[in-house]
Amino acid sequence: MTGFGSKYDLARSRDDGEEAKVEFVELFFDLVFVLAVTQISHLLLRHLSVLGAFQSAFLLLAVWWVWVFTAWVTNWMDPRRAAVKFLLFSLMLAGLVLSSSLPDAFEARGLAFAAAYVFMQVGRSAFMLWALRRHNADNFRNFLRITQWLVLSGFFWLAGAIAEGEARFAFWIAALAIEYAGPASRFWTPWNGASSTEDWDVEGGHMAERSALFIIIALGESVLVTGATFAEMEWTWPVIAAFLVSFLGTVAMWWLYFNVGAEKARHDIEHAEDPAALRVSPIPTCRCCWSQASWWRRLPTNWCSPTPSVTIPNRRRSLSSSAGRRSMSSVTCSSSAFPSGDCRCRTWLAWCCSPCWRSLRHCWNRCRSARWQQ
C-alpha cells in the first residue's frame, strides 16, 4: 500500500471568498443524464401503470444518486486536472451503457444496468481513495467508509440483476435503500466509525449550481419533447391549447425552482455552519418535468381520432346537500358531440391541465409569500 496514491494533489484550490467554478467538462458529463431522463420517460410510456410509475420513479432516484455522488467528487477534485477528466470520461462511458439499458432494466438488460451502476459508484470511490490517500487523511477515511457502503449495495444490485421479476425489484430496492441510508448514518461502519460532516468540506455554491443544472436538463427534456411533438401534429385548436398548457407548466416549474428555491438553497448552503449536513434535492421538480414529457410523447398515438365515447370525471356541487359536499358525476362525449373528432384531445387536455394548474397555483402562492427585494 505504500505505493498506492496519487503523487499530485488533485483537489480544488479554495481561496477565502472565492466560489468554485463549474467547469465545462462537468457540463459535458451532464449530457449523459439528458439521455437518462429521456430513457426513463420511455420506460414510463411503455408501462403506463402504477407499477410502471413506481419503477420509473425508482430509476430516477438511482440516476439522481449517481449524479449527485459525482457532483460531490467534482466539488472536491479539480476537473481541470487530467486524471479527474479521465475519471469523468470513464463515468460517461459507463453512464451511456446505464442510460441505454434503462427502458429494459427490469427485463432483458438488468445485468447491463446493474453492472454499469456498480462500476460508476464503486469505481468513482476507488478513484477518490487513490487521489486522497497521500493528501487528505480525513477525507480518505471518509471515502473508505463510503466505498464499503457502496460495495455492500453493489452485491444487492448484482444479485437483483441475476434474479428476475419481483425478486429483482426487491433486491434493487434494498440496494438503493442502503445507498440512501449511508449519508443519513454518516457512513458508519464497525471498523472505521462514522464520518463527520465537517470533514466533507463541501463548497456550497458549487453544489447549488450543479443542482440547478440538473433541473435545466429535466426542463430541456420537457421543452424538446413539447416542441418536437407539436411540430409533427396538425395544429388544431385543441392541439394548440395543449401546447400552451405544457409551455405554461414548464415555465411554472422553472419559476418554482429558479426564482424562489434555487436562490434560497444557495443562500442557505453558503451561509450554513455545516453545509454538508444540508439536504437539497431538485427531484420533485425533475419528476414533474419528466412526467410532462412522457405525456407529450404519448400524444401522436390516436391523438385526434374519432372515438365512440369517452367518459370524463366531473366534480359538481350536490344541490341536495346542505353541507355542500361534492358528488361525482361523469360527462360522456362522443364523436357526434365534437364533429372534428377532437374528443380525445379534450380528454387528454383535462388530464394535462390538472398538474399544470397545481404547479401554477403553487408557484403563485410561493411568490406571494416570498420577500421580494428590488
For residue 100, the model assigns a pLDDT of: 94
Q: What does the pLDDT look like over 128-139, one tens digit per residue?
A: 999 998 888 888
For residue 121, the model assigns a pLDDT of: 96
Following DSSP, what letter does each residue of 288-302 receive, concatenated?
HHHHHHHHHHHTTTT
**Could you tell me the CA-to-CA distances from 367 to 116, 256, 266, 357, 362 in Å, in that order?**
42, 9, 18, 15, 9
Phi, psi (deg, nearest 5) at residue 54 = -65, -40
Note the helical H segments in the chain.
24-46, 50-76, 82-101, 110-132, 137-162, 166-184, 197-200, 204-232, 237-254, 262-271, 283-298, 343-369
For residue 242, the model assigns a pLDDT of: 81
For residue 347, the model assigns a pLDDT of: 45
Cell of 39: 430513457
For residue 360, the model assigns a pLDDT of: 52
pTM of the predicted model as reported, rounded to 2 decimal places: 0.73
Query: How does pLDDT run along the chain (374 residues), one tens digit per residue?
Result: 556 788 888 988 876 656 678 889 998 999 898 889 888 888 887 887 888 889 999 999 999 899 989 998 998 899 999 999 999 999 999 999 999 999 999 999 999 999 999 999 999 999 999 999 888 888 899 999 999 999 999 999 999 999 988 999 999 999 999 999 998 898 999 888 888 766 666 777 777 788 788 788 778 877 887 888 888 888 988 888 888 888 888 888 788 777 766 666 666 665 555 555 544 444 444 445 445 544 555 554 444 444 443 443 444 333 333 333 333 333 333 333 333 444 444 444 444 444 455 555 555 565 555 444 43
Distance of CA 167 to the CA centre of its chain: 25
Q: What does the pLDDT look like over 38-95, one tens digit per residue?
A: 888 888 878 878 888 899 999 999 998 999 899 989 988 999 999 999 999 999 999 9
Question: What distance in Å separates the CA atoms of residue 353 and residue 21, rounded to the nearest whole number?
Answer: 39
For residue 358, the model assigns a pLDDT of: 54
Phi, psi (deg, nearest 5) at residue 235 = -85, 75
Cell of 264: 434560497
Question: What distance in Å separates the CA atoms of residue 367 and residue 119, rounded to the nearest whole number?
Answer: 43
**Could you tell me the CA-to-CA distances from 97 to 85, 105, 114, 138 in Å, in that order?**
19, 11, 10, 33
For residue 217, the model assigns a pLDDT of: 79
Question: What distance in Å separates the CA atoms of residue 347 and residue 163, rounded to the nearest whole number?
Answer: 40
Question: What distance in Å separates the CA atoms of residue 47 and residue 279, rounded to the nearest whole number?
Answer: 31
Question: What distance in Å separates the CA atoms of residue 83 and residue 67, rounded to the nearest whole number?
Answer: 19
For residue 128, the model assigns a pLDDT of: 94
